[in-house]
Amino acid sequence: MEVIISETAEASSSAAARVVARQVRENPESVLGLATGSTPLKLYRELIRLHREEDLDFSRVTTFNLDEYVGLENDHPQSYHAFMHENLFRHINIPAPQIHIPDGMTPDIPMFCEGYERRIADAGGIDLQVLGIGSDGHIGFNEPTSSFASRTRIKTLAQPTVEDNARFFDGEVSRVPRHCITMGIGTIMSARRVVMLAFGEGKAAAVAAAVEGPVAALMPASILQHHPDAKFFADEAAASQLKLGDYYRWVYAGKPEWQRDA
Ligand code: PGA
């Protein structure tokens, strides 16, 4: 994993957006894996700016979102369909048929999940996956002990996740859906590149465990240590518990200019 520490979440997000933009410019038919939550918001804002001001073209891009709550209609304000539309899709020029988000209202979840995997494969696989990390180390909604080989399926949300996400449901834990459809860890690991983001002190312990701890199913994000092309963008607060923070900064500062993102 390449660890890139920036002063602020804004700087981190701009650097990550440059990686995504480069991917899309190099291959206008890129397949992007996208994430929801508060973490990627600044990255999406920067992609929107690049689209408006620097002609970043999404017209041939295909997207697959990581996850969706089970039981929320697509137009429910807290659905990830609504989130993506509001925070990215309606501001860029991606045609609706090229957008894929798990359907939390599907009557046949196993069949839907199989079909989702097939659609990813038919699109040629994911070129670049954007990821956040949960305070419990989850990626997508793959909670601790999720199989590293898992593919898209239904999962039960862990308690810390339900509590973290209650802030989007007027602080009411009882209103947070208990189940979701999520790409598996195996699905995520099949992406050719991964851009992971973590901001704020609340993520510091998970970041340290994921980057420097043992690779373990109890810390799903730690599997990224085995990914051949994973960049981890963290702000100072999220990086604050890394033992080797200075080492990552030194390595990054020593890279040739053309290899730098931040
Ligand atoms: P957050 O969630 O961006 O809202 O902190 C991250 C995640 O759960 O993956």
Query: pTM of the predicted model, to two decimals?
Result: 0.96
- Tell me the pLDDT tens digit for each residue of 170-184: 999 999 999 999 999
Measuring CA to CA, which residue among 97, 104, 95 is closest to residue 74? 104
Sheet holding 153-156, edge to edge: 67-69, 179-182, 153-156
Which pLDDT does position 260 carry in this prediction?
79
Q: Rounded CA gap, 182 and 69, in Å? A: 9
Nearest atom of ligand 1 to the alpha carbon of 132? 9
Which pLDDT does position 245 carry in this prediction?
94
Catalytic residues: 67, 136, 138, 143
Which pLDDT does position 258 carry in this prediction?
81
- Tell me the pLDDT tens digit for each residue of 61-92: 999 999 999 999 999 999 999 999 999 999 99
Residues 6+ apart with CB under 8 A from 261: 4, 15, 16, 18, 19, 231, 233
Structure tokens at 60: 């041939």
pLDDT < 70 regions, the chain: 262
Task: Write the residue with the smallest CA distance to atom 8 of ligand 1.
Answer: 134
Which pLDDT does position 257 carry in this prediction?
83
Task: Write the residue with the smallest CA distance to atom 1 of ligand 1.
Answer: 37
Residues with CB under 6 A from ligand 1: 37-39, 132-134
Written as one letter, the residue type at 42 is K
> Which of 12, 34, 36, 163 has most ligand 1 atoms within 8 Å of its beta carbon, as the pocket-test mutant?
36
User: What's the maximum distance between 2 C-alpha atoms anywhere in the chain?
Assistant: 53
Alpha helices in 123-224 (DSSP H): 159-165, 185-189, 204-212
Nearest atom of ligand 1 to the alpha carbon of 161? 8
